[in-house]
A and B are shown apart, each in its own frame.
Chain A
Amino acid sequence: MGDVEQTPLPGVGVRYDFRTEAGRRLGLVVHRGESVELVVYAEDDPDRVSESLKLDPRDVAALVELLATPPGNDPDARTHHRVWRLTEDRR
């Protein structure tokens, strides 16, 4: 895979993106506050987001757990979950 690029978006948050092994661009827009946007870039125009998914902290926690191997046993994933839970409760 390509390097992960980090781009500040003043007033919005930070964008991270990289080229997957298969050649597509995948990224995250981390908004200030809590929400995260998972973005997939178009095949014909690598500058354009063709699909964007808004992820709630719970979605993020679930995704992190699913991606971590083995699912559910990684202490890091559980920590994330707990952190998100805490931020959740504060709202």
Chain B
Amino acid sequence: MMLAVAPAEHSHGDTLLQLGVVLFGLGLVGLLAHRVNLSPVPLYLLAGLAFGEHGLLPLVDGESGTTFIEVGAELGAVLLLLSLGLEYAPDELLAELRGHLGPGVVDLLLNAAPGVALALLLGWSPVAAVALGGITYMTSSGIVAKTLADLGHLGNRETPAVIAVLVLEDLAMAVYLPVLTALLAGLGLYAATASVGLALAAVVAVFVIAIRFPGVLARLVFAPDDEVLLLRVLGLALLIAGLAAQANVSATVGAFLVGVSLSGPVAESATQLLRPLRDLFAAVFFVFFGLRIDPGEIPGVLGMAVGLAAVTTITKIATGAWAARRAGIARAGQLRAGVALVPRGEFSIVIAGLTTAAGASGTIALDPRFGPLVAAYVLLLAVLGPLLARLLDVHPGIRGKHSLRPAEHGDHPHPAQHE
């Protein structure tokens, strides 16, 4: 069922038609996600798999539709990281770094190791191992934040430990992504070191400027008018992301740093203004990753994906439990903290997207199983992670011995009302 009109007469109409079909399809899928109160990320991925050339409903043909979707996907990755950066103030990040370095290091070691090990076992290149390690390491802060809010767990006393792990991961990403980008670009040792050095210098500069001269950058983009503010913040983020990309430094990290450097009221207004844009383009981003994967390849890697998901579920639970224990949280809370950290999502796809793009353009040799493996892995944990947290929340047996009070099951009767 190809919707594309005859390839001879590509017109603007084709692009609009394909984009319209994709977005409308996502709207339908998104409603489903809302109904069952799931993160839409896994469903967008599934939609991408279905709409792709080899999918069940190949709505997007290789030529006309994908260029716009490709640009949209790039924007989506930039917007995801810009919004993430806007959530944090630099001094907040530094305080977390100082206070929770231990759990951060344990998190990295425990959760990157399974990905790296699997890639090396399969005989994949070191670059693919670095990428897969990042994919198993990064918890999805979007899914975790939504699950915590839905379950009413934001006030729980183990939650700061969970958030600290997420923050440290985001900081680690500011170092990891430039390294990965340099490796994926196939740069020589000298050029790679130079671009990673440049990225690190940029990270340090942003923190120094933002902490020494608070409000300088905010004043630069401040505008009393919403429209002007939106254009300035987005323009600045794209400008920095573009410059970063040209210097072979990760574009998304550039956007993240722009977000971090803005704080206070400007950041709050910008977050609200950018939210609809981010949701739109992030959806396109997830679809685009799915589009390039042949779903027929997934059954062949499913066993591996399940194994990797199982191992990295256990390592994440151990990480969260240890972080919570260190914060003086009792047994039940330790388990909740561990389970909360299980979901993988947007960041794993950002890493995988960069890697498959480099593989597709031929700058690195990439095993064809890489994309399908990551898609299956993220699908599993983006769905099972929140589900596990919910099960833990309703299951009276796990909760503790005194949970027979009838009121307990009605704790949060309307989880859907939190967005």
Q: Which chain A residues have a beta carbon within 8 Å of chain B's beta carbons?
A: 7-12, 15, 17, 27, 29, 32-33, 37, 39, 41-52, 54
Contact = CB atoms under 8 A, between A and B. Distances in A.
Interface of B: 87-89, 92-93, 95-96, 141, 145, 152-160, 163-164, 166-167, 268, 329-330, 332-333, 336, 399-403, 408, 411-412, 417-418
Given A29-B155, A37-B154, A48-B156, A11 B332 contact: no
Contacts of B268: 32-33
Contacts of B156: 47-49
Contact of B401 (A9, A44, A50): A44
Contacts of B329: 47
Contacts, number: 89
Nearest to A46: B157
DSSP class of A's interface residues: helix, strand, loop or mixed?
A: strand
Given A11-B88, A29-B154, A44 B167 contact: no
Contact of A10 (B93, B152, B403, B418): B93
Contacts of B96: 10
Closest 6 CB pairs of A and B: A39-B155, A47-B333, A52-B152, A11-B87, A44-B402, A47-B157
A38 to B, nearest CB: 9
A52 B412 contact: yes
B152 to A, nearest CB: 4
Given A10-B88, A11-B87, A50 B411 contact: yes
B330 A47 contact: yes
Given A29-B155, A39-B155, A52-B412, A45 B163 contact: no
Contacts of B418: 54
A57 to B, nearest CB: 15
Contact of A11 (B145, B399, B401, B403): B145
A47 B329 CA distance: 7
B155 A37 contact: yes
B163 A10 contact: yes
Contacts of A43: 402
21 contacts: A8-B95, A9-B160, A10-B88, A10-B167, A11-B87, A11-B141, A11-B145, A12-B163, A15-B159, A17-B157, A42-B400, A44-B400, A44-B401, A44-B402, A44-B403, A45-B332, A47-B330, A47-B332, A49-B153, A49-B156, A54-B417
